[in-house]
Amino acid sequence: MHETTLDLRGLQVRLLRGGRGLPLLYLHDTFTLAWLPVHNRLATACEVFFPVHPGCAGAAGLEHFDDLEDLVFYYLDLCEALHLERPVLLGASLGGWLAAEMAVRYSHLLRGLVLVGALGLHLPAAPATDLFRLDPAQVRAALFADPTAPLAQRLVPDTPDPAALPSLLQARQMLARFAWQFPDNPKLARYLYRVRLPTLIVWGAQDGVVPPAHGQAYQEAIAGSQLVVLPQCGHLPHAEQPEAFARVVLDWLARLTP
């Protein structure tokens, strides 16, 4: 992996990238903000582009973004700036919602779509959790199948290390900007039929943030899509079950017609 910075219409974008092959644009969640071993695994099959969202991990610029539509245009600009030729779009959590918003509009510019524990839908019978109402222990219980694991303690600490605090607060602000109280777009479900792409949907069986019923709903709304539910896994499959997650995605990528 190497890190570069590029100027996108005046905003400095931190870009992590690695691997060779099909371009894959990775739209991150607001809990894991770093290049992880799982990204190296993905990079064995494709060239992974991992831009850090504006307003995350020290990046400035959140004040220019009011809703996901602004991020959709931002990432269109980024795809053009990087000359990405019909990338695969992989998004987790907030990034998954963003990927879905891009795919309903611009399927023809994309090669495939991977949604991981994606926010974005509202299911009255299984609403997404309001993470902002919860204390750290409750957030861990919602995010992870095993809230006692060191990973859970590290990503959602009770008392953050002062050095890590700015980044944690910034990520919370980013999530709140787009996903305050109702992390969804009431109109998204109506337009999901417009996703005309090979689509893989990956969900943790114990996702306590976005219940697995949402994975089911995405699967039913996107023609030809495939849903894989991972056991012993919460809201962040790439962090909690990286091996199983990588296998599922790599298998799917291998079957993707170039």
What are the residues binding other proteins (CB under 8 A)? 62, 132-135, 165-166, 169-170, 172-173, 175-177, 180-182
Dig out the tokens for 26 from the structure: 């990775």
Choose among 251, 168, 169, 238: nearest CA to 203. Answer: 238
Handedness of CA 154, 203, 49, 107 (dihedral sign): negative
- Distance of closest approach, residue 55 Cβ to other proteins, in angstroms: 9
On the 0-12 / 13-18 / 19+ scale of CB atoms within 10 A, 221 is: buried
- Which CB, 14 or 196, lies closer to other proteins? 14
- Which CB, 57 or 134, lies closer to other proteins? 134
Residue type (1 letter), 115 = L
- Distance of closest approach, residue 132 Cβ to other proteins, in angstroms: 6
- Distance of closest approach, residue 136 Cβ to other proteins, in angstroms: 9
- Distance of closest approach, residue 162 Cβ to other proteins, in angstroms: 8
- Distance of closest approach, residue 165 Cβ to other proteins, in angstroms: 6
Choose among 201, 48, 197: nearest CA to 110. Answer: 197
- Which CB, 168 or 248, lies closer to other proteins? 168
CA 61 – CA 46 distance, rounded (Å): 29
- Which CB, 172 or 247, lies closer to other proteins? 172
- Which CB, 7 or 63, lies closer to other proteins? 63
* H helical segments located in the chain: 37-42, 68-81, 94-106, 136-143, 150-155, 165-179, 188-191, 212-221, 237-240, 242-255
- Which CB, 17 or 177, lies closer to other proteins? 177
- Distance of closest approach, residue 214 Cβ to other proteins, in angstroms: 21
Residue 54: Cβ within 10 Å count? 22
